[in-house]
Chain A
Amino acid sequence: MTTNSVSQVATKACLRAKNVSVYYGPFLAVRDVSLDIFRNEITALIGPSGCGKSTLLRCFNRTNDLILGARVEGKVTFQGSDLYDEGVDPVYVRRRIGMVFQKPNPFTKSIYENIAFAARINGYKGSIDELVETSLQRAALWDEVKDKLKESGLSLSGGQQQRLCIARAIAIEPEVILMDEPCSALDPISTLQIEELMRELESRYTIVIVTHNMQQASRISDKTAFFNAESTETGNKVGYLVEYGDTEQIFSEPREQATQDYVSGRFG
């Protein structure tokens, strides 16, 4: 494991996983991952199915807490403070570390309300109208929906719905956006739009993206972490981090044979 290749610049680390293991009930899902996520960069987590990349992603904003029987060991820090400290409210964590999911999941509300709803509850004191407009603009959706803000969010196409979900996430001004295979349910054109969008968002936010699509990882990310899975005697899969480094290095001259095999399409 060559996880520490980038730790000399650890001061810039925004999110930090140290010896993180995740259990679902009695089953170990992810084993001993240490990884630093850097501010204003896009970090891609890649690897075959069942390698625990989504599970790890969910540790970063404590969405694993919502799964019955899930348990996180090790330490996850955000700007130096432990996310799993006893006094930390997961609601507050999620407020600052947003998430976009695999399948677009707009609320059953109007396009406007999809964005305004959380902002209002979170006590936003500025103009909600402006917030809706800026968020939709940043998510590159404004021009398509500005005349139908009252229509249901579910009336949009899949790609538009996903951009609405991104707009919704950035509206509450988080510092980090976690994206769990945000393009896997989308067509190639919508995928390209979301990728462009992510590159624009990079200057303001720290983005961590889980993707199955290696081209996508190489196109958009600054750093890439490659995960692999191995089967235990009981038959369930345990994921672990194989290699982490600059995206260019991971794709052109990986240190590990498994990474080489995966990025060249030999398995996975």
Chain B
Amino acid sequence: MTTNSLPPDPNDLWQPSRGLNKRVEQAVIWLFGLFAIISVATTVGIVLSLLFETVEFFRVVPLWNFLTDRQWTPLFSNPQFGILVLLSATFLTSFIAILVAVPLGLLSAIYLSEYASPKLRKWLKPALEILAGVPSVVYGYFALLLVTPFLQIFIPQLGGFNALSAGIVIGISITPLIASLSEDAIYAVPRALRDGSYALGLTKRETVFGVVLPAALSGIVASIILAVSRAVGETMIVALAAGLNPRLGLNPFVPVMTMTAYIVQVSLGDTPAGSIAFKSIFAVGMTLFLVTLAFNIISFWFVRKFRETYE
């Protein structure tokens, strides 16, 4: 072992020249660190700009009014900013979306992972994931021009714009997310666990629902929470199909205005920058950010707490 002797032996056959390498190693660390910082800094910058404008907004509109007013009338001469109005609409469309997406996504995940033949799975899973690649504006028109007229056959009082079809179509659009992530979680349950269950004289269904799904629970719940925050943040579908009427309540048949739809409306309209109505979109954006952040934290916590570690 002369290679490690100090000082280097000139007669050694092994003469590494790492002089330059060391500087390259350093440069690489700095370069990669820089990119990491850029992405973090961008996020911090966004949050900060939201925060500053939000603070400006709350200098004019008291937080208490923001949280308790029951009207959202930013353009009236005596404007009211009751976030509950927009929150109720967001909650309504997201809730309908989850009602659609959880059964659809979860059952497809179970089918794909446990029942489909490997051949079928190979085709079906990518096909499902293509659904996730459909632009949301397409979904929006799908809701407006197809789903709403179809639903009006059964529900005559359904408005041309309504929370119901927007919610259903959001549900369809987030189904691939739940299906794909849940399927990963279910598929990752070790085979040994299934074998153990079969060896106790349990049927396939008993094994899937009694052993495999509980073992995959943390991944499934994480996928659902992620889908919820996606539904909360969904913009195009609600802007196109749910209408733009700020209205407090949980009636799915009438036009409503979600937080995201409001932000779109103000950003695209001729609301003068610096006006209180303009500043309100930052307050709404902040609320939206906090809601999705809360969901992401819950999901993170849940996965950490309930993840089963298999050897």
- On A, residues with C-beta under 8 Å from B are 61, 63, 66, 68, 91-92, 94-96, 98-101, 103, 105-109, 117-118, 121-122, 152, 154, 165, 168-169, 172
Q: Is the CB of A105 within 8 A of B201?
A: no
A118 CB contact (under 8 Å) in B190, B195, B202, B214: B202
Docked-complex contact B193 and A121, CB < 8 angstroms:
no
**Pick the contact of B199 from A92, A94, A122, A152 — CB < 8 Å?**
A94
Question: B39 contacts the other chain (Cβ, under 8 Å)?
Answer: no
Are A107 and B199 neighbours in the complex by a CB distance under 8 Å?
Answer: no
- CB <8 Å contact, A121 and B202: yes
A63 touches which of B195, B206, B308 (Cβ 8 Å): B195
Most chain A CB atoms below 10 A, which of B194, B198, B206: B198
Q: CA separation between A103 and B193, bound complex, in Å?
A: 10
B192 at interface by CB-CB < 8 Å: yes
Q: Please list 21 pairs of residues, one from A and one from B, whose beta carbons are closer than 8 Å in the complex, sorted by A's number.
A: A61-B199, A63-B198, A66-B195, A95-B200, A101-B199, A103-B311, A105-B193, A105-B196, A106-B196, A107-B196, A107-B214, A108-B193, A108-B215, A108-B308, A122-B201, A122-B202, A154-B308, A154-B310, A165-B196, A168-B196, A168-B200
Question: What is the chain B residue whose CB lies nearest that of A114?
Answer: B196
Pair B210/A121 contact, Cβ less than 8 Å: yes
Chain B contact residues, CB within 8 Å of chain A: 118, 190, 192-203, 206, 210-211, 214-215, 308-311
Alpha-carbon gap, A103 to B310, bound state (A): 11
Q: Is the CB of A107 within 8 A of B201?
A: no
Among A61, A63, A91, A172, which residue has the most Cβ atoms of chain B within 10 A? A91
* Complex CA–CA separation, A96 to B200 (angstroms): 8
Beyond contacts A95-B200, A107-B211: 7 other A-B pairs, Cβ-Cβ < 8 A, are A96-B201, A98-B199, A118-B200, A121-B202, A121-B210, A152-B308, A154-B308
Bound-state Cα–Cα, A99 to B200, Å: 8
Bound-state Cα–Cα, A101 to B194, Å: 12
- CA gap between A165 and B197 in the complex, in Å: 11
A107 touches B197 (CB 8 A): yes
B206 touches A121 (CB 8 A): yes
A94 closest partner in B (C-beta): B201
- Asked if residues B215 and A107 are in contact (CB atoms below 8 Å), the reply is yes
Cα A169 to Cα B200 in complex, Å, equals 6
- B196 in complex: contacting residue of A68, A101, A172, CB < 8 Å: A101
How long is the Cα–Cα vector from A109 to B203 in the complex, in angstroms? 18
Min CB distance B271 to A, Å, is 53
Shortest Cβ distance from A95 into B: residue: B201
In Å, the complex CA distance between A96 and B201 comes to 8
Docked pose: A99 CA to B194 CA in angstroms: 12
CA distance A242 to B191 in the complex (A): 31
CA–CA, A168 to B210, complex, Å?
A: 15
Give CA–CA (A99, B118) in the complex, Å.
27
Chain B residues contacting A91 (CB-CB under 8 Å) are: 198, 201-203
Q: Which of A118, A154, A172 has the most CB of B within 10 A?
A: A118
